Structure 1
Protein backbone atom coordinates (compact mmCIF):
# COMPACT_ATOMS: atom_id res chain seq x y z
CA UNK A 1 0.00 0.00 0.00
CA UNK A 2 2.86 2.31 0.72
CA UNK A 3 4.22 1.93 -2.76
CA UNK A 4 0.97 3.15 -4.17
CA UNK A 5 0.97 6.36 -2.15
CA UNK A 6 4.40 7.49 -3.32
CA UNK A 7 3.66 7.07 -6.98
CA UNK A 8 2.41 9.83 -9.15
CA UNK A 9 0.08 9.03 -11.94
CA UNK A 10 1.56 9.70 -15.33
CA UNK A 11 -1.14 11.14 -17.52
CA UNK A 12 -0.73 12.89 -20.82
CA UNK A 13 -0.73 16.65 -20.52
CA UNK A 14 -3.58 18.03 -22.58
CA UNK A 15 -2.65 21.74 -22.42
CA UNK A 16 -0.31 23.63 -24.72
CA UNK A 17 1.82 26.40 -23.33
CA UNK A 18 1.31 29.33 -25.77
CA UNK A 19 3.42 31.90 -23.92
CA UNK A 20 6.59 31.24 -26.00
CA UNK A 21 4.58 31.59 -29.22
CA UNK A 22 3.16 34.91 -28.06
CA UNK A 23 6.65 36.14 -27.21
CA UNK A 24 7.96 35.24 -30.67
CA UNK A 25 4.99 36.94 -32.38
CA UNK A 26 5.48 40.13 -30.37
CA UNK A 27 9.17 40.25 -31.28
CA UNK A 28 8.32 39.78 -34.97
CA UNK A 29 5.64 42.48 -34.75
CA UNK A 30 8.11 44.94 -33.26
CA UNK A 31 10.69 44.14 -35.95
CA UNK A 32 8.16 44.77 -38.72
CA UNK A 33 6.91 47.98 -37.09
CA UNK A 34 10.46 49.33 -36.88
CA UNK A 35 11.56 48.34 -40.38
CA UNK A 36 8.39 49.24 -42.32
CA UNK A 37 8.92 53.05 -42.24
CA UNK A 38 12.51 52.59 -43.39
CA UNK A 39 11.47 50.92 -46.66
CA UNK A 40 11.11 53.51 -49.40
CA UNK A 41 8.71 52.85 -52.27
CA UNK A 42 10.26 52.70 -55.70
CA UNK A 43 10.29 55.99 -57.57
CA UNK A 44 9.82 56.03 -61.33
CA UNK A 45 12.07 58.48 -63.15
CA UNK A 46 10.01 59.61 -66.14
CA UNK A 47 11.67 61.00 -69.27
CA UNK A 48 11.35 64.72 -69.94
CA UNK A 49 11.26 66.92 -73.03
CA UNK A 50 12.38 70.48 -73.58
CA UNK A 51 9.76 71.39 -76.17
CA UNK A 52 6.62 69.66 -75.01
CA UNK A 53 3.51 70.38 -77.04
CA UNK A 54 0.77 71.85 -74.92
CA UNK A 55 -2.49 70.16 -75.87
CA UNK A 56 -5.07 72.40 -77.44
CA UNK A 57 -8.05 73.10 -75.28
CA UNK A 58 -11.02 71.64 -77.10
CA UNK A 59 -14.42 71.60 -75.57
CA UNK A 60 -15.49 67.99 -74.96
CA UNK A 61 -18.79 66.34 -75.66
CA UNK A 62 -20.58 65.54 -72.41
CA UNK A 63 -22.77 62.47 -72.08
CA UNK A 64 -25.01 62.61 -69.01
CA UNK A 65 -26.40 59.29 -67.81
CA UNK A 66 -29.78 59.86 -66.21
CA UNK A 67 -31.21 56.35 -66.05
CA UNK A 68 -30.63 53.06 -67.79
CA UNK A 69 -31.13 53.86 -71.48
CA UNK A 70 -31.87 57.57 -70.85
CA UNK A 71 -28.91 59.72 -71.96
CA UNK A 72 -28.35 63.41 -72.64
CA UNK A 73 -25.63 64.42 -75.13
CA UNK A 74 -24.39 68.01 -74.77
CA UNK A 75 -22.02 69.80 -77.12
CA UNK A 76 -19.87 72.00 -74.88
CA UNK A 77 -18.94 74.29 -77.81
CA UNK A 78 -22.49 75.31 -78.62
CA UNK A 79 -24.19 74.34 -75.30
CA UNK A 80 -26.84 72.44 -77.26
CA UNK A 81 -28.11 69.22 -75.76
CA UNK A 82 -30.20 66.40 -77.09
CA UNK A 83 -31.76 63.41 -75.38
CA UNK A 84 -30.85 60.10 -77.03
CA UNK A 85 -31.22 56.40 -76.36
CA UNK A 86 -28.31 54.04 -75.81
CA UNK A 87 -28.63 52.76 -79.39
CA UNK A 88 -28.42 56.31 -80.80
CA UNK A 89 -25.55 57.45 -78.56
CA UNK A 90 -22.58 56.54 -80.78
CA UNK A 91 -24.16 58.04 -83.92
CA UNK A 92 -24.95 61.31 -82.14
CA UNK A 93 -21.44 61.61 -80.71
CA UNK A 94 -19.91 60.87 -84.13
CA UNK A 95 -22.12 63.60 -85.64
CA UNK A 96 -21.00 66.12 -83.01
CA UNK A 97 -17.34 65.21 -83.46
CA UNK A 98 -17.67 65.89 -87.19
CA UNK A 99 -14.26 66.85 -88.55
CA UNK A 100 -12.58 66.44 -85.13
CA UNK A 101 -12.46 62.67 -84.50
CA UNK A 102 -9.99 63.23 -81.63
CA UNK A 103 -12.46 65.43 -79.72
CA UNK A 104 -12.81 63.98 -76.20
CA UNK A 105 -16.02 62.62 -74.75
CA UNK A 106 -16.74 62.75 -71.01
CA UNK A 107 -19.42 60.77 -69.21
CA UNK A 108 -21.10 62.21 -66.14
CA UNK A 109 -23.65 60.62 -63.82
CA UNK A 110 -25.17 61.14 -60.40
CA UNK A 111 -23.92 59.04 -57.50
CA UNK A 112 -27.26 57.25 -57.31
CA UNK A 113 -27.16 56.02 -60.93
CA UNK A 114 -26.48 52.32 -61.34
CA UNK A 115 -22.91 51.50 -62.32
CA UNK A 116 -24.19 49.29 -65.15
CA UNK A 117 -25.75 52.28 -66.93
CA UNK A 118 -22.40 54.10 -67.03
CA UNK A 119 -20.60 50.96 -68.23
CA UNK A 120 -23.18 50.47 -70.98
CA UNK A 121 -22.61 54.04 -72.22
CA UNK A 122 -18.83 53.55 -72.20
CA UNK A 123 -19.18 50.22 -73.99
CA UNK A 124 -21.37 51.74 -76.71
CA UNK A 125 -18.81 54.50 -77.32
CA UNK A 126 -15.85 52.11 -77.38
CA UNK A 127 -17.63 49.75 -79.76
CA UNK A 128 -18.18 52.70 -82.12
CA UNK A 129 -14.43 53.34 -82.18
CA UNK A 130 -14.43 56.58 -80.19
CA UNK A 131 -10.96 56.77 -78.66
CA UNK A 132 -10.98 59.50 -76.01
CA UNK A 133 -13.65 58.58 -73.47
CA UNK A 134 -13.34 59.66 -69.84
CA UNK A 135 -15.37 60.09 -66.69
CA UNK A 136 -16.30 63.52 -65.36
CA UNK A 137 -15.84 63.85 -61.60
CA UNK A 138 -16.00 66.63 -59.06
CA UNK A 139 -12.82 67.33 -57.07
CA UNK A 140 -12.99 66.43 -53.38
CA UNK A 141 -13.79 69.25 -51.02
CA UNK A 142 -16.10 71.07 -53.42
Structure 2
Protein backbone atom coordinates (compact mmCIF):
# COMPACT_ATOMS: atom_id res chain seq x y z
CA UNK A 1 0.00 0.00 0.00
CA UNK A 2 1.42 3.35 -1.10
CA UNK A 3 1.10 6.32 1.22
CA UNK A 4 0.10 9.64 -0.27
CA UNK A 5 2.26 12.60 0.54
CA UNK A 6 0.56 15.75 1.74
CA UNK A 7 0.86 18.77 -0.46
CA UNK A 8 2.28 21.60 1.65
CA UNK A 9 2.27 24.38 -0.94
CA UNK A 10 0.28 27.55 -0.44
CA UNK A 11 -2.29 28.36 -3.10
CA UNK A 12 -1.81 32.08 -3.92
CA UNK A 13 -4.45 32.36 -6.64
CA UNK A 14 -7.19 33.63 -4.25
CA UNK A 15 -4.81 36.32 -2.93
CA UNK A 16 -4.03 37.49 -6.45
CA UNK A 17 -7.74 37.63 -7.28
CA UNK A 18 -8.51 39.72 -4.20
CA UNK A 19 -5.57 42.06 -4.96
CA UNK A 20 -6.77 42.63 -8.52
CA UNK A 21 -10.33 43.33 -7.38
CA UNK A 22 -9.05 45.88 -4.84
CA UNK A 23 -6.85 47.49 -7.49
CA UNK A 24 -9.83 47.91 -9.81
CA UNK A 25 -11.94 49.38 -6.99
CA UNK A 26 -9.24 51.93 -6.09
CA UNK A 27 -8.69 52.85 -9.74
CA UNK A 28 -12.40 53.52 -10.21
CA UNK A 29 -12.86 55.46 -6.96
CA UNK A 30 -9.72 57.67 -7.17
CA UNK A 31 -11.12 60.13 -9.76
CA UNK A 32 -14.25 60.56 -7.64
CA UNK A 33 -12.20 61.76 -4.65
CA UNK A 34 -10.61 64.75 -6.38
CA UNK A 35 -12.33 68.09 -6.03
CA UNK A 36 -11.55 71.45 -7.42
CA UNK A 37 -12.55 74.29 -9.63
CA UNK A 38 -12.36 73.96 -13.39
CA UNK A 39 -9.81 76.59 -14.40
CA UNK A 40 -8.40 76.83 -17.91
CA UNK A 41 -4.69 77.45 -17.11
CA UNK A 42 -2.41 79.10 -19.66
CA UNK A 43 0.28 76.90 -21.18
CA UNK A 44 3.97 77.41 -20.48
CA UNK A 45 7.31 75.73 -19.92
CA UNK A 46 7.95 75.52 -16.17
CA UNK A 47 9.81 73.52 -13.58
CA UNK A 48 7.95 71.56 -10.87
CA UNK A 49 7.69 73.20 -7.47
CA UNK A 50 9.42 71.38 -4.58
CA UNK A 51 6.77 70.08 -2.20
CA UNK A 52 8.25 70.38 1.31
CA UNK A 53 4.94 71.60 2.69
CA UNK A 54 1.57 71.48 0.96
CA UNK A 55 0.95 74.78 -0.86
CA UNK A 56 -2.07 77.01 -0.60
CA UNK A 57 -3.64 77.12 -4.07
CA UNK A 58 -5.66 80.17 -5.07
CA UNK A 59 -7.60 79.95 -8.34
CA UNK A 60 -9.10 82.92 -10.18
CA UNK A 61 -12.06 81.80 -12.27
CA UNK A 62 -13.10 83.33 -15.58
CA UNK A 63 -15.78 85.39 -13.83
CA UNK A 64 -13.25 86.70 -11.25
CA UNK A 65 -14.37 84.51 -8.34
CA UNK A 66 -11.59 83.31 -6.02
CA UNK A 67 -11.26 79.74 -4.80
CA UNK A 68 -8.74 78.86 -2.07
CA UNK A 69 -7.69 75.24 -1.53
CA UNK A 70 -5.43 73.99 1.24
CA UNK A 71 -5.23 70.23 1.89
CA UNK A 72 -8.93 69.22 2.12
CA UNK A 73 -10.21 72.73 2.85
CA UNK A 74 -12.04 74.71 0.13
CA UNK A 75 -12.91 78.37 0.68
CA UNK A 76 -14.18 81.17 -1.54
CA UNK A 77 -12.79 84.34 0.06
CA UNK A 78 -13.29 87.87 -1.18
CA UNK A 79 -10.24 89.79 -2.38
CA UNK A 80 -10.40 92.12 0.63
CA UNK A 81 -10.28 89.16 3.05
CA UNK A 82 -7.69 87.12 1.12
CA UNK A 83 -4.59 88.22 3.07
CA UNK A 84 -6.24 87.54 6.43
CA UNK A 85 -7.55 84.15 5.28
CA UNK A 86 -4.16 83.00 3.97
CA UNK A 87 -2.39 84.24 7.10
CA UNK A 88 -4.92 82.38 9.27
CA UNK A 89 -4.43 79.14 7.32
CA UNK A 90 -0.64 79.47 7.53
CA UNK A 91 -0.84 80.16 11.29
CA UNK A 92 0.79 83.58 10.83
CA UNK A 93 4.10 82.18 9.51
CA UNK A 94 4.29 84.12 6.22
CA UNK A 95 7.96 83.28 5.64
CA UNK A 96 7.29 79.52 5.40
CA UNK A 97 4.01 79.64 3.45
CA UNK A 98 4.00 78.62 -0.19
CA UNK A 99 1.13 80.00 -2.24
CA UNK A 100 0.34 79.07 -5.84
CA UNK A 101 -1.92 81.33 -7.90
CA UNK A 102 -3.73 79.96 -10.93
CA UNK A 103 -5.77 82.14 -13.21
CA UNK A 104 -8.08 81.04 -15.95
CA UNK A 105 -6.66 81.89 -19.38
CA UNK A 106 -9.69 84.12 -19.97
CA UNK A 107 -9.68 85.68 -16.48
CA UNK A 108 -8.99 89.38 -16.05
CA UNK A 109 -5.23 89.89 -15.68
CA UNK A 110 -5.88 92.74 -13.24
CA UNK A 111 -7.72 90.36 -10.90
CA UNK A 112 -4.77 87.93 -10.86
CA UNK A 113 -2.38 90.80 -10.16
CA UNK A 114 -4.67 92.08 -7.39
CA UNK A 115 -4.47 88.63 -5.76
CA UNK A 116 -0.68 88.70 -5.97
CA UNK A 117 -0.59 92.24 -4.55
CA UNK A 118 -2.80 91.19 -1.63
CA UNK A 119 -0.45 88.28 -0.90
CA UNK A 120 2.56 90.58 -1.07
CA UNK A 121 0.93 92.98 1.39
CA UNK A 122 0.39 90.05 3.75
CA UNK A 123 4.17 89.46 3.71
CA UNK A 124 4.09 86.21 1.74
CA UNK A 125 7.24 85.93 -0.35
CA UNK A 126 6.86 82.41 -1.83
CA UNK A 127 4.22 82.94 -4.50
CA UNK A 128 4.16 80.90 -7.69
CA UNK A 129 1.98 80.87 -10.79
CA UNK A 130 0.29 77.70 -11.99
CA UNK A 131 0.53 76.77 -15.66
CA UNK A 132 -0.44 73.78 -17.73
CA UNK A 133 2.56 72.00 -19.31
CA UNK A 134 2.74 72.26 -23.09
CA UNK A 135 2.31 69.04 -25.01
CA UNK A 136 5.23 68.32 -27.33
Instruction: Report the TM range for the smaller structure's normalisation.
Output: 0.5 to 0.7
1:10 alignment partner in structure 2: none
SS of the counterpart of 2:132?
Answer: coil
Q: Which runs of 5+ in 1 are unaligned?
A: 1-54
1:134 aligns with 2:134: no
Q: CA offsets, 1:22-50, max 9 Å, x none?
A: xxxxxxxxxxxxxxxxxxxxxxxxxxxxx
| Higher relative contact order, chain-length normalized (CA < 8 Å, sep 6+) | 2
Please give the alpha-carbon distance, in whole angstroms, between the structure 1 residues aligned to 2:78 and 2:92. 23
**Are residue 62 (structure 1) and residue 57 (structure 2) matched?**
yes
Matches for 1:68-107 after TM superposition, within 5 Å = 68=64, 70-75=65-70, 77=71, 79-98=72-91, 100-101=93-94, 102-107=96-101
Relative to the length of structure 1, the TM-score reads 0.55
Are the counterparts in 1 of residues 87 and 93 from structure 2 also a CA contact under 8 Å? Answer: no
Q: Which has the larger radius of gyration?
A: 1
Structure 1 runs, 4 residues or longer, greater than 2 Å off:
none
Paired with 1:108 and 1:129, the residues of 2 have a C-alpha distance of: 19
Mapped partners of 2:120, 2:51: distance in 1: 23
C-alpha spacing 1:112/1:95, structure 2 compared with 1 (3 Å): same
**1:90-117: CA deviation from partner (whole Å, max 9, x where unpaired):** 0110011116431200001111101111
TM-score calculated relative to the size of structure 2: 0.57
